Amino acid sequence: MATTGPQASSPRRRRGRPGHDQAAILRAAVELFNRKGYDATSMGDLARELGLTKPAIYHHVAGKEQLLGQALDDALDELTAAVAEASREREGTTAYGRLRAVVRRSVEVLVAHQPSVTLLLRVRGNSEVELAALERRRWLDDRLAELVADAVAEGALRGDVPPALVSRLLFGMVNSLVEWYRPGGAYDTATVADAITSLAFDGLARHETAPDQGDQAS
């Protein structure tokens, strides 16, 4: 990454801190928002973190809210695309198969965008940007619930749990990764994605129940 001016010799820059480009500024902002809280983080804090002046940051972004919006879009865009694709009926596919696939894909997206997803899960609707992100999350919940309902109608899933609750539980299982998953740790992405998908759907899959002892006796 090219460096110019006094920042090129800065100790902060020599340790690999981000430079002037917008992507690096966004990464640093997300890290700070997660560490300090969005409301408690100022543009001055971000400038100090980057070793830049505030005018240098404002050259790339209008302000803190724009950075928040970009971070939330980063968390949501790929998952929105995956859920939208799974919601479309296609010849040769089942709702159950598409549901399984999108749950697995959601794990991959979360791992790839973990800092932004962590931030997304902390927003509470205190601004228009946050409200828009929460609305997108509701859309995801609704589409996943529709897939669950379709899989129930196919006879692939048990029907005694409300689809909207199943949707929230599935996303809740995936979202819990932000609390403990660390890249380079004991489990790689594929292992975690396989485990969550298997556990979720082995628990939800419809099974024939054996008669109890009383039925056998009669």
Given a contact cutoff of 8 angstroms between Cβ atoms, the answer to whether 141 and 171 are in contact is yes
- Could you read off the pLDDT tens digit of each residue along the chain, which spans 218 residues? 344 443 433 333 333 344 468 899 999 999 999 999 999 999 999 999 999 999 999 999 999 999 999 999 999 999 999 999 999 988 999 999 999 999 999 999 999 999 999 999 999 999 999 999 999 999 999 999 999 999 999 999 999 999 999 999 999 999 999 999 998 899 999 999 999 999 999 866 555 554 444 444 43
Tell the residue number behind the tokens 């129930």, with chain if given: 152
Predicted pLDDT at 140 = 98
Predicted pLDDT at 147 = 97
Measured CA to CA in angstroms, residue 116 lies from 11, 71, 112, 179 at distances of: 27, 5, 9, 13
Say what the pTM is: 0.81
DSSP category for residue 181: -
CA distance linking residue 183 with residue 189, whole number of Å: 8
DSSP for 118-167 reads: HHHTT--S-SHHHHHHHHHHHHHHHHHHHHHHHHHHHTSB-SSS-HHHHH
User: Phi/psi of residue 94, each to 5°?
Assistant: -115, 160
Q: Where are the alpha helices (DSSP H) in the chain?
A: 11-14, 22-36, 43-50, 54-58, 64-87, 95-112, 114-120, 128-154, 163-175, 177-180, 189-204, 213-217
